[in-house]
Structure 1
Amino acid sequence: MRSGGVNPNATSYNILIAAYCRAGRLERAMVYLEKMIEDDSCKPDHVTCNILVSAYAQRHMYLESLTVLNRLANMGCKLTDYPYNCLIGGFAKAGDIPRALCLLETMIRNGFVPNVFAYNPLIYTLCSSGDVGQAYELYEEMEDDGCVPNKATYNVLVKGLCKVGKPEQASHVVSKMIQNGSLPDPSAYSAVIGSLCKVNEVNKSCDFVQEMISRGCISDAVSYSSLIKGLKDLALLDQADILFRRMRERNLSVTITAYNTLMESFCSLNDMVKAMKLFRTLCDKGLEPNLVTFKVLFAGFINREQYDEASYILQMMLENKFQPDESYWSTLMGGFFEKGKFHKAKSLFLFMIEQRGTLTALAYKALLDGFLRKGMVNKACCLIDQMRKKGLLPHVAICIAWIHGFCHRGKFDVGRTLIEDVKGKGFLPDASTYNTVLSGFNGVGDLLSVHALVEEMLNFQLAPAIEPSNSLIRSIFSRGKLLPAYELSLRLIDAGTRLDCSVCNDIIDGLFKADRVNEALKLLEVIQHQFSRDKVNHE
């Protein structure tokens, strides 16, 4: 520009400085600030200051930003309140309250009147850090200076005061807020309600709600329901009960949510008498119970093992056109089994089929678990056959649990079949599951099944249990099958099964007598190696 005979003015410099700032090249922007200062034809103005202060502040370089502000102010540059607001907010958010407050004083001393953009970040940070007292002093100061707080100011301060246990002061702030034409957020008046309840000021809490209602801030039904929930969340159930009765005495509208909240509280305290009394009251008032109502009562009775009462709630759900999912039925069936009420459990199962037409594995599982727990093995066997035909075998983990359950009841053949079911799902049962069935067959002397399972386990590189393995080797050896007994012994030892010394000695002795010296020495070497390995692992 100068080469063309035109001197740059402040606008030219500001455009150039702003461009460098947008590009993130603040060092180049500062070079042109220096040139601008040295230029006799123009000087930095408030626009220059705003651009640079904002650029540094956006990058959280607040000290550099403050340096620019102070330098331009000391040069006599005419400033606006923007850079002060920008930096006060920046320092406040960074947690540097002392510097932010110092800058606020400087701003006032330089003739500027701080607005909400200066005060709000300070009040927010002070409340967040727990220094609500100083935040409240700033709030009073801004009112004295004629600065009208906005909704954000009030909400932050109200929540902060409630957090430190000053609900009455908070309610006063809410009143001032309404007078100034702002309505509090639901979270703000809920904070006041909860805080008053915490200090057992239920009456004042009710008065506060009434004031909010009378001012048209909130509806009565929603407000009282929120209040009851707040009391319940604070474990102030006695106060919630008092408030609930007061609502009814005043003929105030009570929502189903309020009933559900209080019923849930009574259920959590195992006071099902009061919970059911509320249920009958809401029905008498013409309110329709919803799914939450029944869910709360059902869970309450189940937790108290009052299964007949839970069954009644289930029936009520159906009468009110709600369809319980299978978890309700399954839980109730399990409860009836626990109490020895087998006929009720089975009747419930048949009723489920009647209601739903088809059932998932979850419902069958509940009945089968009950049969197993009570030793009704034949019924369990029939049921699992039905499940298999319907393709309803449940998750692998449940099948494995059933394997152990059936084997515990002496139904090893069912356990064996379930192993095949698990494999059919693409999973391999662990050695413990196999050995449960294996030990069962061994216990009843079914060595053919033992042999088949041992071979299967070895093929899957699983270690068969010691006792069945010893029994099998003895059986093979006693039938004169020396080499098969020898070969199987090697495979078992290699898989990690520790055979009895007497079994191994008999085979070694037989091999020597049969002039199978190499085989005898091989087995002896393998046994010694296993013994050494076990000794190292034990140490």
Structure 2
Amino acid sequence: MASSWSLSSFVSPRLFLTSGGEPRTREADGFFRVPCCALGSRPRKAGASSRSPSNTSSAAAGRAAVKAAPPPKKRHWKEGEFPGVSEAAVSKPPRTPIKNVKKKVDDRAAAKAWVSTVTEALAEKIQKKQWQEALEVFEMLKEQPFYHPKEGTYMKLLVLLGKSGQAYRAQELFDSMVEEGLEPTSELYTALLAAYGRGDLLDEAFSVLNKMKTLPLCQPDAYTYSTLIKACVEASRFELVDSLYQDMSDRSITPNTVTQNIVLSGYGKAGKFDEMEEVLSGMLESTTCKPDVWTMNIILSLFGNRGEVDLMEKWYERFRGFGIEPETRTFNILIGAYGKRRMYDKMTSVMEYMRRLAFPWTTSTYNNVIEAFADVGDAKNMEHAFNQMRAEGMKADNKTFCCLIKGFSNAGLFHKVVSSIQLAERFEIPANSSFYNAVISACAKAGDLMEMERVFERMKDRHCAPNSTTYSILVDAYRKEGMTDKIYDLEQENPKMFGVDVLAK
């Protein structure tokens, strides 16, 4: 079923590929103005303009004397002697021409400018989370004679690849770092471990941990174990968490508050409330792992996402009684929870309370408000919140545009879905799985399955791995149209991701 709108016009390579621009140049902050001084002629003495006969005759006599002088004798140069050059001048080394000196200075300046440009370009790609472009710039940097491997650069790239779901590329980068002669550290190994953990590659992550244990200068610490525990928790492998706790105890590594918060959050998301309560009680009784504002945020977020606003409010008061003060993220959690329950009065009250206490509204604050209106298809209030966000100078992020696309799609305003994606392109918003899923869902709601398939192919071409949400959207769309063959093709394409839960929906 074709619709009157099309995503082909805006799903261009430039949307999902980084637009290649020329390197930025640094302009001068100001101009140095050299004042022009008027050079006046020397004033004439009084009477200098009058010519007396005596003066005229003297000048004539001088000219006659010059004409009468005999011509100089011609000098015959000896063989091998260069005219006009003294012995002292010959003994001095030849001077470099001015133009060559200037060329050397310009070359050095150009080299320094190139170093600055390529380094800034790499930092910009990392900041924008464009891992492919960052690797390309990094390869250009490595080819330059001034390149020297640095731990900080590799650390940033490893973290970027890990967050982008590119664990194996992170391993390749790590291996190339070792080949360049840069000694790995426990921090670099932990970054590699985190990359495997984010990709749900627990066997590889444990291999990195075992490797670290064999290296005297790269021993795992509390942060390393916390990172691996987080990966196990997110994969619901709680039996591995217990073994890691035992391993930490054997190595005399004490879990800190960060570690406990990770486990607390995992138990809560998995619905293991008895275990969650046990961990929280242990934190309250501990002297080294006392609960902090992150603990507070985890508990409030848990009940807020479940829609249990009453429990969320009770726990908020309890944490305040423990002496834990809320922060901006705490209020954002409350705003998000009230928004999902359409409790707009309380949502507004929290925002006003933040203003009174001088807590700044952040991008997350506006995202929660935009999401609240997007869920119900209230395009008018959603746009108003977005416009106010931009007016206050807040930078929109990936979630902002996912919510806008979803909101306009729920409202049936598909032409505004197109304009939102075009705006995301101009803002150079990185297209991750959530962004593609929002666009694919909009295509499905518009009944344009052909465009939906194009976006899905684009997603895979850009090495953005589809997740269970992606397949659920596709299956629902095909099922409504009775396209069972398409569902079968998806199942054959990715049997591991295409699980029972997707088919059951």
Specify the structure having the higher radius of gyration (Cα).
Answer: 1
Normalised by the length of structure 1, the TM-score is 0.33
Higher helix proportion (structure 1 or 2): 1
Q: What TM-score, normalized by structure 2, do the two folds share?
A: 0.35
Kindly indicate whether structure 1 or structure 2 has the higher relative contact order, using CA contacts under 8 Å at least 6 residues apart. 2
